[in-house]
Amino acid sequence: MNVRGVVVEVDDPETVSTQYGERELCEVTVRSDRGRSEPTTVTLWGDWVENAEQLEPGMELAVYDAEKRTYQGETQYTTGSDTTVVVEPEFVVDVTDVRAWVQCPRMYYLNKIDGLPLAYPVVKGTIVHEVFGDLLRGRDIDTAVEEQVEAAGLELGLLGRDSDSVAEDVRDHARAIEGWLAQGTLTERDEWRSEMTLISERYGIKGRADAVRRGMPVELKTGKNTRREPRFHDKIQAAAYALILGERAAEETSAASMMGDGGATVDTDTPSALAAAPDTGTLLYTKNAAVDRAEEGGDLSPAKEFSIGSGLLEFVLRARNAIAATEYGTDVPTGYEGDAKCEYCFEQDTCMAVSGRLDQESKAGQVGSPIPERERAYFDRFYRAIEAERRAVHREYAKLWRQGPTERADDDRALVDLQPLGRREIDGGRWELRAAGTGATSKIREGDVVLASDGHPIRGEAELARVERLGGPSPDADSSSDGSASGQEIVVTADEPVELRRLDIYPSELSTDRLLTALHDAVLKQPQSAKDVLFGRRDPEFDCPSETFVDNNPAQDEAVRRAVSAEDFALVHGPPGTGKTYTLAKIVRELVDRGEHVLLSAFTNRAVDNAIEALVEQGFTDVVRVGTESGVREDMQRFRLEQAGDPDELATRLEDAPVVAATTASCGSRVVREQRFDAAVVDEAGQLTEPGTLAATNLADRFVLIGDHRQLPPVVRSEDSGTDGKTGAESGGHPQADLGRSLFERLIEAHPEAGVLLDRQYRMAQRIQAFPSQAFYDGQLRPATGEVASRHVGDLDGVDPSALPERLRGRVAFVDPGGHAHGNTNPEEADAVAQVVEEFASAGVSRDDIGVIAPYRAQVAEIGQRLDDHVAVDTVDRFQGSSKEVIVVSFVATGDLDGPIFEDYRRINVALSRAKRSLVLVGDADALSTDETYAEMVEWAR
């Protein structure tokens, strides 16, 4: 019997005498069905009491294989020998976190906030793991070592290492692996899986096992261990994988026995998930092979097997539960939760320093004096906000099993019903998998790492895969014979040959991890003077030169002057089309001319590439672009710094470049985080969370933020219910504003004197800019030139304005087609939008010059079906930063104004300010007019 529900009450634990002696118990009352059912009591016995004590009302509790009994007419549940207890099952804890927690809960916390440094043991560890995978896939040792060392070239170069000595070092480790693989028992390749992604729906654990051999976990450790037994926390890691493997094995058995029984429910002979777990794990300590046997004794064999019993598995689960319970309240562990000895801990100094500076209780004690109260409060508030983001990511994991395939596909989180077209082995024993798509779209993009599966991402065969191609004609002749393949071939690469039937977005905690390290670095590593301005203890200072930088635009000129003379920071506020990118390029060039080492950053890859493009247009090309191959635009690849290659050359290129360009997310990478700059210039700063901005500004002595807080705000997941298929629900002015408010906005409000408003726009005809200027910029925006002011579609080559219907001949039009909203679509409105587009096209406007913006993905799809691919149809979020000659906006709403686009004026500002020559609003005028601002908009447009 399984019991699962929301905890409503936790009694005090008590000790009772039983036939087995004194035992502890704790009664917990839960309401199942997500808190809707009548209360049920579950008695947790023995060691599970430890977890019971961590419970709080409101948490979710799952008790699997509980024993049922009736007491005084009431049904009760109790833990038995096969029972497992899971706290907050949808909080998906990573196996490496369980390991760290068992070492010391405080270490788990420290790892989280300060991230993995760029250090040789870390990089070497990664290389050895890659080589391990290669060897398992049958690769030759010399090739594997050589290629993997080369792949880490940049990191090794930054660490001052040369390839030969690293290869020598890695080869020692690789020999341990090879020796072990050569042992007679390991012959059947089929029994191996390298790098297996495991996610447990039952226990809320995930991780990537280094290898699974005959169903048993194998973990590789690049350290040495001369004892016979593996280290305890290493065993914990392998046992955690065993726990998940047991769940899978039990499911397979029960599925098989259900089939054997003609579909009837069987619950007698199926083993519990715990009993089905593998009973042996292996730890491979590769450094043992390199130890000099003359100098060191003990057990030097690298491979150490150990047995996994239910006691160990339950221990793992209790540690996992302790993490989930701690994170429920965003509590900071003190170290007292575990029994590690601080004096043996190599993190003791760091631990004491962090505890001292943040004034946190810690088993190791504190050293140093605390940072000011205000900074601690800041750290705390953002820590909580970022952890709320992490919980939102965890909810995304849970959707992998909570949502059915159709629901996931409708939510744009999966591509389902793919038809496998074939697979082939490629370099390094990896696989290329191909399938025919259905023509459906999703948030999955080329270059993403996704879960590829044979139908179910958790219960089926699944592996992490990289999307190489989505759609596009198949180069393979035989797949075109399959009608469904036409134009929709999907190609991914993976370590294992999964039958490709479905792709799911794989939620990643990487960006939350990086926000935390940025917060840590800003508060604990930045010099006092930098923090003074951030925390309002000092006003920013300028040392303005009298030079002219831009002679045809006074505001831009002033912006460059402020930027180059800022001793702390400068802020450039750029409304739509006012030359933000142009000004940014000027600023970067001026800084470089002054001999400064500049970091150029932005929220999106697109903006980073646009900024480089503007630099190139201004004749400057001395830029190094850091980013992945798929993230960087084709024509900017020539600036991209490869990760692989000669260490010294790569490191020199990065360190000597006057300008390094990377997204703010990449600024948190091991490589960029180690660099220092004189100045950081950050574009799209209005869309960045405060810690997201800090990831870039932490790396420089001074910074310039360029953005517009009246356009799209930062995307914050934790406010996004995410299941309604709407876009934009993420931000909309909710009270949890810490992450929703950018550093740019906070600073420009606190220090308007440090900001410059770019007030001349080079995009919209005067008639189009009138409303956005009035409504969102206090009427301060004006066309930069007469040409801009008078723009009209009639000026475009081949366009005959008289061929347009009367209502579309002006620069702004309003079309009210009526119709009814069905969920997030309005088909009649979609028809009207398509008609408007066709009318412009018939008058000679190129379809590539027309864009359609709708508030919801569903309406985007509805309109997209009616138009050919040349017309860009998308949500507001995807239009930020771009423009078109003609823009048609579909509002969808009828009757009332219940949509995120309407709750947030910043989104409507973006939608209205994309058009150069013609803007057509399509919607229900009566519905829109129920809101004051939109009433004015309708008035203006008609």
Part of the chain binding ligand ATP (CB under 6 A), chosen from 192-200, 523-531, 548-556, 766-774 = 548-556
Least distance in Å: CB of 766 to ligand ATP? 16
Least distance in Å: CB of 614 to ligand ATP? 6
Q: Give the phi and the psi of residue 111 in degrees, each rounded to 5.
A: -55, -40
Comparing CB distances to ligand ATP, the nearer of 671 and 889 is 889
Least distance in Å: CB of 667 to ligand ATP? 21
State the Cα–Cα distance between residues 709 and 776, nearest whole angstrom.
10
Least distance in Å: CB of 574 to ligand ATP? 5
* 764: nearest Cα among 907, 910, 869: 910
Kindly identify the residues of this chain, within the stretch 687-716, that bind ligand ATP according to CB under 6 A: none
Comparing CB distances to ligand ATP, the nearer of 260 and 554 is 554
State the Cα–Cα distance between residues 467 and 469, nearest whole angstrom.
6
Complete DSSP assignment for 699-766: TEEEEEEEE-TTS-----GGG----S-BSSTTTTT-S-HHHHS-HHHHHHHH-GGGEEE--EESSS-H
Please measure the distance between the N-terminal and C-terminal CA atoms of the chain and give it in whole angstroms: 65
Part of the chain binding ligand ATP (CB under 6 A), chosen from 129-137, 272-280, 436-444, 573-581 = 573-581
Comparing CB distances to ligand ATP, the nearer of 485 and 682 is 682
Comparing CB distances to ligand ATP, the nearer of 691 and 851 is 851
Least distance in Å: CB of 514 to ligand ATP? 25
* 511: nearest Cα among 604, 430, 443: 604
**One-letter identity of residue 651:** A
Comparing CB distances to ligand ATP, the nearer of 579 and 900 is 579
- Consecutive H or E run containing 84: strand 84-87
Q: Can you give the length of the chain in residues?
A: 942
Distance of CA 385 to the CA centre of its chain: 15
Comparing CB distances to ligand ATP, the nearer of 355 and 880 is 880
Comparing CB distances to ligand ATP, the nearer of 151 and 550 is 550
Q: Give the phi and the psi of residue 586 in degrees, each rounded to 5.
A: -60, -45
Complete DSSP assignment for 408-463: HHHTTSEE-S-EEEEEEE-GGG-EEEEEE--S---S--TT-EEEEESS-TTTS-EE
Part of the chain binding ligand ATP (CB under 6 A), chosen from 13-21, 115-123, 194-202, 572-580 = 572-580
Comparing CB distances to ligand ATP, the nearer of 632 and 706 is 706
Show the site string, 574-593: x = touches ligand ATP by CB under 6 A, - = not: x-xxxxxxx-----------
Least distance in Å: CB of 570 to ligand ATP? 16
Comparing CB distances to ligand ATP, the nearer of 287 and 907 is 907
CB atoms within 10 A of CB 182: 8
Least distance in Å: CB of 884 to ligand ATP? 11
Q: Helix, strand, or coil here: 288?
A: helix
Least distance in Å: CB of 909 to ligand ATP? 11
* 858: nearest Cα among 902, 827, 889, 833: 827
Tell me if 707 sits within 8 A of 686, measured CB to CB. Answer: yes
Part of the chain binding ligand ATP (CB under 6 A), chosen from 226-234, 535-543, 551-559, 560-568 = 551-559
Least distance in Å: CB of 759 to ligand ATP? 12
Comparing CB distances to ligand ATP, the nearer of 132 and 879 is 879
19, 185, 265, 552: which one binds ligand ATP (CB under 6 A) = 552
283: exposed, middle or buried (C-beta count within 10 Å: 0-12, 13-18, 19+)?
buried
Complete DSSP assignment for 537-574: SS---B------S-SS-HHHHHHHHHHHHBSSEEEEE-
Interface with ligand ATP, residue 506, by CB under 6 A: no
556, 698, 718, 826: which one binds ligand ATP (CB under 6 A) = 556
Comparing CB distances to ligand ATP, the nearer of 607 and 843 is 607
148, 366, 553, 909: which one binds ligand ATP (CB under 6 A) = 553
Part of the chain binding ligand ATP (CB under 6 A), chosen from 295-303, 323-331, 423-431, 549-557 = 549-557
Instruction: Compute how many residues bind ligand ATP; rule: CB under 6 A.
Output: 15
Structure tokens of 866?
């009616």
Show the site string, 860-899: x = touches ligand ATP by CB under 6 A, - = not: ---------------------x-x----------------
Q: Helix, strand, or coil here: 659?
A: strand
Comparing CB distances to ligand ATP, the nearer of 453 and 578 is 578
Show the site string, 289-308: x = touches ligand ATP by CB under 6 A, - = not: --------------------
State the Cα–Cα distance between residues 167 and 151, nearest whole angstrom.
12
Q: Number of helices (H) and strands (E), helices first, in the chain?
A: 33, 35
List beta partners, residue 192.
213
Q: What is the DSSP letter of 825?
A: B
Kindly identify the residues of this chain, within the stretch 733-792, that bind ligand ATP according to CB under 6 A: 762
Determine the residue with CB nearest ligand ATP.
579
**Which residues contribute to the site for ligand ATP (CB under 6 A)?**
550, 552-553, 556, 574, 576-582, 762, 881, 883
